[in-house]
């Protein structure tokens, strides 16, 4: 329904109400559409007056909707009035009202009131992330950085993940300010990005750059750049961090993979104890491998070719240069069929080691184990993103380790003509190898340089893709 | 006219209860007041804006007045226990129009507080809210029904005595006796069917409750069938959650139930080579229903995705497994291939009686499949491939035609 443009008298509201199909929810629907149409507050007021006259009371849900309208239009004094009324009328308020109040007040000159409201919420529940962020923004807008950071840390302590937006606000409002403490806090945010493998977007990147360049007396300069495959920054010639894990991280990851992914709650779910033991002895006797191949995954690369031929091509392609290969497969690959030819299989088995798992076992887990057991130099080949295995890991720290290791060690195969021109599939496929990255794609520093990967806002970014663009900041 | 209006306005403004004042004034002193102050059109003709006519902040006065007494009691409520506070928050959420139950027990409140996250709390509240709603509706319907029956009785009571009938009415009681007789027979001579009750640790409390409800349903379906199974509850531990839920459902009838409940494993009760574990994850597809085998159904409701739990159990015990041939007979649409326990019971009973897969698979929920398939498996595979190509969006019309051709019959 269309809300009226001017305040109405009670009688007029009554007639409107009667013409409405379900009069019992008339006021709610009307206020909702007022919020949607951004009607003048006076109209809403006249409706509330009408309700108050006829019922002697106004329901909480209506008050909240009126509050939403006031917040939307930034009517601070009205917001305060509504708050007063609510406080008199109700013992406590619920989260929705508090969120609205904080949103309304944090943008006004009454922003300190928002902070007291935040304290009030804490007494009854954990405040929402938005409430915190609104307060933080209000505080930093008024240059109260200490207060803002206090709230920020409090928020992190409560396991609320901050949005990029609020982090950007810190950089925006600290521009040109000096202070060792402040600098430490902002570096702390950059380390938070690093630890959680978060990539800032372009405008956030600009804020970081401007902040660095604005620090008085420190002479930072920022440049946008692309990092070469070698991992060298073209601007400052600095070599980026290696993608390999430390010895401790590596061992930790390997143990966690065995415990959480392979065994999990029940070893029988993915394999069986006998089979896993057999595989372990198989691997131990032939260590170390250079490349471990997920046979079935690779065999599905080209639909126009049989699975056997696909695998054959891949093995031939990778066997150059005396690399020690391990191909993982399932037992059904050994039965002679149209898809799996015995002669080709035989030829491949001369070039690489093969392990065939039971048909109902998961070969991916073997892939992970064999690669991790072979050592840091070993890579693996599959197009699978291994998300389900990552999900088996129980804590986010290990998941990040897994991602990092995966980025450095996974080789994905794509046939050159895939998807685009069906005709080209007739030709012999040329494999394009997506190489494992040699450098680690996270925010990193050496003290006098910072390298920050960022993403374009408009560019689609999947979780497995990593940004190719970097911000290089160095101190002259 | 102007002056009368301004006078009226002043009086209205100074009054504490503007609306009553306005009303009273009009009636008593200004016989023409109605046309003067309330005509909408006239107000618009006036130079002053309408907002001055209506006391816009009148509602604030109403809200603030008469609540002074309440205000005093508020301050006493400063220190509250966490339970009481949660109760108040819930009440406020309810007032704000969220899906929150009206009444909540102490136990439910505790469960609410113990929810690990805000979304878990929300979900739990919604569950309680819906439960309350259903209950209310049921009660309302029951009352309506009772009233209707009373009315009918009143009407019936007038022409009395004509309803003599030589047939004996079948009472529920005697039906029950007949059913129980059949089940008792099947307990001696019938084919066994095992419910594996060893998944308690894999489920949440809600899932266990749902499981037991499904088993209760299955048991009643079985009892009412022509040729029932002999149901075994294996691995059912004393004092387990399953057991508690069963007793909640059956009350004292639990001890009289014509099933075999044991804490032994089925491998101890039956010879291993006779057992077949039914699980949707099984690589083997069931072809026919074997009357000499003992089928095992895992008593598990799996709301979170835990694939391969029952397959792992069968693997550990070295049992044969089988899955229903859903893909062979049905063109699957959406939804998981695991069926509820009562659907499994329906299907197995029908297979046992008729051996007809088509008839049996009628019990698969309609939303999960598009249609029955008249063609053999390799044809179906072709369709699946076709659907996949369709998803890629190439040569759509052509493929659609082909699709229509192969499935028109």
In a domain, B184, yes or no: no
Of the two residues B315 and B377, the one the predictor is more confident about is B315
The pLDDT tens digits for A70-101 are: 999 988 888 999 998 888 888 888 889 999 99
Tokens of A175: 């521009």
Question: Which pLDDT does position B234 carry in this prediction?
Answer: 93
The domain that contains B353 carries what CATH number? 3.40.1280.30
Predicted confidence band of residue B376 (pLDDT cuts 50, 70, 90): low
Cβ–Cβ gap B88/A92 under 8 Å: yes
Contact call for A85 and B64, based on CB within 8 A: yes
Mean pLDDT in residue range B370-389: 68
DSSP type of residue B280: T
pLDDT at position B46: 39
- At A18-60, the pLDDT tens digits run 888 888 888 889 999 999 999 888 889 888 888 888 888 888 9
CA–CA separation, B343 vs B361, rounded Å? 9
Q: How far apart are CA A350 and CA A379, in angstroms?
A: 20
B405 at the A interface (CB within 8 A)?
Answer: no
pLDDT at A461: 62
Same domain, B387 and B295: no
Residue of B nearest to A97 (CA): B96
* Residue B194: inside a domain: yes
Q: Please give the class, per CATH, of domain A247-436.
A: alpha beta
Pick A61's closest partner by Cβ from B51, B62, B97. B97
Calpha distance B81→B106 (Å, rounded): 13
Cα(A232)–Cα(A191) distance, integer angstroms: 21
The reply to whether B196 falls in a domain is yes
Say if residue B335 is in the same domain as residue B393. no
Residue B35 located in a structural domain:
no
Query: CA B80 → CA A90, A123, B72, distances in Å?
Result: 15, 11, 16
Closest CA of chain B from A313, distance in Å: 25
Mean pLDDT, to the nearest integer, of B187-214? 92
Task: Find the distance separating the first CA and the last CA of chain A, reported in whole Å.
Answer: 63
The answer, for A332 touching chain B at a CB cutoff of 8 Å, is no
A388-397, B19-28, B387-396: segment of lowest average pLDDT: B19-28
Question: In which band, very low, low, confident or very high, does the pLDDT at B23 lie, cut at 50, 70 and 90?
Answer: very low
- Mutate which of A9, A332, A338, A392 to disrupt the B interface (most B C-beta within 10 Å)? A9
* CA-to-CA separations, A191 to A94, A150, A172, A265, B307, in angstroms, rounded: 35, 17, 18, 34, 38
Range of the domain at B379: 375-408
**Min Cα–Cα distance to chain B from A97, Å:** 9
Model pLDDT, residue A421: 33
Q: Over 90: is that where the pLDDT of B209 sits?
A: yes
3-state secondary structure B72-132: HHHHHCCCCCHHHHHHHHHHHHHHCCCCCCCCCCHHHHHHHHHCCCHHHHHHHHHHHHHHH
Assess whether B216 and B226 both reside in one domain: yes
Do the domain assignments include residue B293? Answer: yes
Q: Are residues A441 and A425 in contact, defined by beta-carbon separation less than 8 angstroms?
A: no
Instruction: Say if B159 falls within a structural domain.
Output: no
pLDDT at residue A129 greater than cutoff 90: yes
Looking at the complex, report in whole angstroms how far the Cα of residue A85 sits from the nearest Cα belonging to chain B.
Answer: 6
Range scoring the smallest mean pLDDT among A211-225, A234-248, A453-467, B304-318: A453-467
Put simply, whether B59 touches A (Cβ < 8 Å) is: yes
Query: Residues with Cβ < 8 Å from B371, sequence gap 6 or more?
Result: B330, B331
Asked if B365 and B404 sit in the same domain, the reply is no
**Is there a contact between A28 and B54 if contact means CB atoms under 8 Å apart?**
no
- pLDDT > 70 in chain A, percent: 93
Q: Looking at the domain assignment, is residue B246 inside a domain?
A: yes
Tell me how far apart the alpha carbons of residues A347 and A183 are, in angstroms, rounded to a whole number: 62
Helix (H, G, I), strand (E, B) or coil at B199: coil
**pLDDT recorded at residue B50:** 46
pLDDT at B297 over 90: yes
Closest by CA to B234, choosing from B186, B296, B184, is B296
pLDDT value of residue A406: 85
Provide mean pLDDT across the span B190-211. 91
Per-domain residue ranges of chain A: 1-91, 163-242+439-475, 247-436
Q: Residue A345 has what pLDDT?
A: 85
Q: Confirm whether the ipTM is greater than 0.85.
A: no
- Sorted by sequence, the CB contacts under 8 Å of residue B220 that are 6+ apart come out as none
Beta pairing, strands A469-475 & A449-454: antiparallel
Q: Is B30 near chain A, with CB under 8 Å?
A: no
- pTM reported for the whole predicted model: 0.75
**DSSP strand E in B259-299: where?**
260-261, 275-278, 294-298
Mean pLDDT of all residues belonging to chain B: 78
Res. A262 pLDDT band, cuts 50 70 90? confident
Question: What number is the average pLDDT over the span A161-184?
Answer: 91
Do residue B354 and residue B379 come from a single domain? Answer: no
Task: Indicate the number of domains in chain B.
Answer: 2
Answer with the residue of higher pLDDT: A317 or B271.
Answer: B271
B403 and B392 in one domain?
A: yes
Average pLDDT over residues A317-340: 83
Whether chain B has a CB inside 8 Å of the CB on A93: the answer is: yes
Chain B nearest C-alpha distance from A270 (Å): 8
Q: Which chain B residues touch A159 with a CB distance below 8 Å?
A: none
| Side-chain-side CA neighbours of residue A96 (13 Å) | 18
Q: Are A23 and A17 in contact (CB under 8 A)?
A: yes
A163-242+439-475 maps to which CATH number? 1.25.40.10
Question: Given this model, what pLDDT does residue B63 score?
Answer: 76
Of B40, B59, B312, nearest to A268 by CB-CB distance is: B312
B324 and B382 fall within a common domain: no
Of the candidates A49, A97, A359, the beta carbon closest to that of B54 is on A49
* pLDDT range class, residue A9, cuts 50, 70, 90: confident
Q: Decide if A269 and B60 are in contact by the 8 Å CB cutoff.
A: no
A residues 37-76 lying closer than 8 A (beta carbon) to B:
42, 45-46, 48-49, 51-53, 56-61, 64
A143 interfaces chain B, CB cutoff of 8 Å? no
Query: What pLDDT was estimated at residue B134?
Result: 96
Q: How far apart are CA A42 and CA B50, in angstroms?
A: 10
B103 or B375, higher pLDDT: B103
In which band, very low, low, confident or very high, does the pLDDT at A214 lie, cut at 50, 70 and 90? very high
pLDDT grade, residue A429 (50/70/90)? Answer: very low
Sort residue B143 into left (φ over 0), alpha (ψ -120 to 50) or beta: alpha
Both structure tokens of A73: 């239009």
Instruction: Tell me the nearest-neighbour CA distance from B302 into chain A, angstroms.
Output: 15
Contact between A269 and B89 using a beta-carbon 8 Å cutoff: no
List, in sequence order, every residue forming a beta bridge with A220; answer none if it has no partner: A475
Q: How many CA within 13 A on the CB side of residue B275?
A: 24
Strand, coil or helix: B237 = coil
The confidence score (pLDDT) of residue B24 equals 42
The minimum CA-CA distance between A224 and chain B, rounded to whole Å, is 37
Same domain, B349 and B387: no
Structure tokens at B321: 């497994």
Q: What is the mean pLDDT of residues A270-279?
A: 88
CB burial of A293-326 (b: ≥16 within 10 Å; e: otherwise) equals bbbbbbbebbeebbbbbbbbbbbeebbeeeebbb
B286 SS3 class: coil
pLDDT for residue B162? 53
Between residues A301 and A10, which one has the greater pLDDT? A10
Dihedral sign for Cα B276, B277, B278, B279, please. Answer: negative
Distance (Å) from the alpha carbon of B334 to chain A's nearest alpha carbon: 21
Phi and psi angles of residue B321, each rounded to the nearest 5 degrees, phi first: -125, 160
Domain identity same for B316 and B391: no
Contact B59 A10 (CB under 8 A): no
A388 CB within 8 Å of a chain B CB: no
SS3 at position B189: helix
- Residue in chain B closest to A10 (alpha carbons) equals B54
- In a mutational test of the B interface, the residue from A91, A121, A266, A361 whose CB has the highest number of chain B CBs within 10 Å is A91
Same domain, B280 and B386: no
pLDDT bin (cut points 50, 70, 90) of residue B72 is very low
> Tens of pLDDT along A362-420?
888 899 999 998 888 888 888 788 888 888 888 888 888 888 888 788 877 665 544 43
For residue B1, what pLDDT is reported? 47
Least confident of A78-87, A145-154, A445-454, B43-52: B43-52
Residue A28 at interface with chain B, using a CB cutoff of 8 Å: yes
Nearest CB partner across the interface for A92, out of B89, B97, B311: B89
Is the domain of B379 the same as that of B334? no
Whole-number percent of chain B with pLDDT over 70: 71
Residue-averaged pLDDT of chain A: 85
Please say if the pLDDT value at position A276 is more than 80. yes
The pair of structure tokens assigned to A327 is 């191909």
Mean pLDDT for A444-457 is: 89
Q: What is the DSSP letter of B194?
A: E
Is residue A117 very low, low, confident or very high in pLDDT (cuts 50, 70, 90)?
very high
Nearest to B341 by CA among B239, B208, B247, B245: B208
Give the C-alpha separation, A322 to A319, whole Å. 6
pLDDT of residue A344: 84
Instruction: Check whether A191 has a pLDDT greater than 90.
Output: yes
Assess if residue B325 is contained within a domain.
yes
Residues of B numbered 3-22 whose beta carbons fall under 8 angstroms of chain A's beta carbons: which are they?
19
- Residue B45 scores a pLDDT above 70: no
- Encode A6-28: b = buried (16+ Cβ within 10 Å), e = exposed: bbbbbebbeebbeeeeeeeebbe
Q: Which residue has the higher pLDDT, A32 or B167?
A: A32
> Measured between alpha carbons, how far is A264 from A243 in angstroms, rounded to an integer?
27
Asked if A360's CB is within 8 angstroms of B54's CB, the reply is no
B321 shares a domain with B200: yes
């Amino acid at each position: 329904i269309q809300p009226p443009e001017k305040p109405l008298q009670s009688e007029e509201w009554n007639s409107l109400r009667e013409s409405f199909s379900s009069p019992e929810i008339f006021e709610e629907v009307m206020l909702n559409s007022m919020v949607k149409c951004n009607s003048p507050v006076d109209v809403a007021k006249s409706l509330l007056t009408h309700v108050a006259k006829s019922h002697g009371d106004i329901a909480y849900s209506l008050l909240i909707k009126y509050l939403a309208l006031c917040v939307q239009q930034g009517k601070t004094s009205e917001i305060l009035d509504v708050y007063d009324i609510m406080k008199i009328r109700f013992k406590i308020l619920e989260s929705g009202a508090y969120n609205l109040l904080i949103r309304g007040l944090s943008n006004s000159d009454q922003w300190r009131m928002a902070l007291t409201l935040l304290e009030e919420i804490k007494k009854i529940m954990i405040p929402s992330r938005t409430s915190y962020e609104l307060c933080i923004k209000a505080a930093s807008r008024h240059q109260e950085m200490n207060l803002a950071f206090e709230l920020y840390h409090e928020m992190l302590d409560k396991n609320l993940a901050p949005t990029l937006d609020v982090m950007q606000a810190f950089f925006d409002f600290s521009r040109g300010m000096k202070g060792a403490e402040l600098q430490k806090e902002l570096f702390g945010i950059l380390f938070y990005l690093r630890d959680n493998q978060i990539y800032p977007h372009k405008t956030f990147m600009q804020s970081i750059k401007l902040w660095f360049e604005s620090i008085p007396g420190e002479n930072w300069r920022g440049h946008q750049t692309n990092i070469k495959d070698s991992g060298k920054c073209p601007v400052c010639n600095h070599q980026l961090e290696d993608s390999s894990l430390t010895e401790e991280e590596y061992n930790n990851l390997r143990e966690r993979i065995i415990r959480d992914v392979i065994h999990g709650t029940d070893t029988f779910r993915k394999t069986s104890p006998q089979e896993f033991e057999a595989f372990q002895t198989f691997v131990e006797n032939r260590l170390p491998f250079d490349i471990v191949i997920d046979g079935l995954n690779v065999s599905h690369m080209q639909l126009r070719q049989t699975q056997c031929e696909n695998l054959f091509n891949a093995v031939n392609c990778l066997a150059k240069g005396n690399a020690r290969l391990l191909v993982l497969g399932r037992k059904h690959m050994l039965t002679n069929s149209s898809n799996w030819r015995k002669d080709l299989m035989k030829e491949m088995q001369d070039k690489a080691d093969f392990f065939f798992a039971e048909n109902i076992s998961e070969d991916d887990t073997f892939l992970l184990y064999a690669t991790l057991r072979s050592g840091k130099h070993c890579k693996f080949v599959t197009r699978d993103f291994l998300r389900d295995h990552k999900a088996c890991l129980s804590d986010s720290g290990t998941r990040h380790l897994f991602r990092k290791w995966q980025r450095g060690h996974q080789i994905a195969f794509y046939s050159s003509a895939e998807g685009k021109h069906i005709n080209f599939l007739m030709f012999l496929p040329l494999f394009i190898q997506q190489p494992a990255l040699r450098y680690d794609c996270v925010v990193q520093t050496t003290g006098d340089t910072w390298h920050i990967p960022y993403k374009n806002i408009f560019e689609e970014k999947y979780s497995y893709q990593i940004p190719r663009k970097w911000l290089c900041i160095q101190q002259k | 006219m102007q002056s009368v209006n301004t006078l009226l306005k002043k009086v209205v403004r100074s009054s504490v209860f503007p609306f009553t004042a306005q009303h009273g004034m009009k009636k008593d002193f200004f016989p023409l007041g109605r046309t003067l102050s309330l005509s909408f059109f006239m107000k618009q003709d006036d130079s002053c804006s309408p907002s001055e006519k209506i006391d816009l902040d009148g509602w604030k006065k109403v809200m603030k007045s008469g609540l002074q007494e309440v205000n005093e009691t508020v301050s006493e409520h400063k220190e509250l226990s966490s339970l009481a506070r949660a109760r108040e928050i819930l009440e406020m959420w309810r007032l704000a129009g969220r899906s929150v139950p009206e009444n909540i027990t102490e136990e439910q409140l505790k469960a609410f507080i113990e929810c690990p996250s805000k979304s878990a709390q929300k979900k739990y509240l919604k569950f309680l809210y819906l439960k309350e709603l259903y209950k209310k509706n049921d009660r309302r319907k029951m009352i309506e029904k009772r009233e209707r029956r009373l009315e009918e009785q009143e009407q019936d009571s007038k022409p009395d005595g004509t309803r003599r009938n030589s047939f004996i009415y079948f009472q529920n009681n005697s039906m029950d006796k007949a059913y129980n007789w059949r089940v008792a027979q099947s307990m001696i001579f019938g084919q066994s069917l095992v419910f594996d009750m060893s998944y308690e640790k894999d489920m949440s409390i809600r899932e266990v409750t749902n499981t037991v409800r499904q088993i209760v349903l299955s048991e009643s379906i079985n009892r009412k069938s022509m040729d029932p199974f002999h149901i075994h509850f294996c691995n059912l531990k004393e004092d387990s959650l399953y057991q508690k839920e069963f007793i909640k459902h059956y009350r004292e009838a639990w001890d009289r139930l014509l099933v075999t409940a044991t804490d032994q494993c089925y491998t101890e009760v039956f010879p291993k080579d006779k057992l077949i574990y039914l699980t949707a994850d099984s690589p083997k597809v069931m072809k026919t229903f074997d009357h000499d085998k003992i089928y095992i159904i895992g008593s598990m409701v799996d709301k979170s995705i835990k694939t391969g739990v029952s397959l792992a159990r069968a693997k550990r015990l070295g049992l044969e497994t089988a899955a229903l041939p859903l893909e062979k007979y049905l063109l699957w649409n959406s939804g998981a291939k695991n069926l509820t326990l009562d659907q499994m019971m329906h299907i197995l009973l029908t297979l046992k009686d008729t051996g007809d897969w088509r008839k049996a698979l009628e019990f698969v929920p309609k939303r999960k499949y598009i249609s029955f398939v008249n063609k053999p498996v390799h044809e179906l595979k072709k369709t699946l491939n076709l659907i996949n190509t369709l998803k890629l969006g190439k040569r759509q019309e052509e493929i659609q035609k082909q699709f229509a051709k192969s499935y028109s019959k």
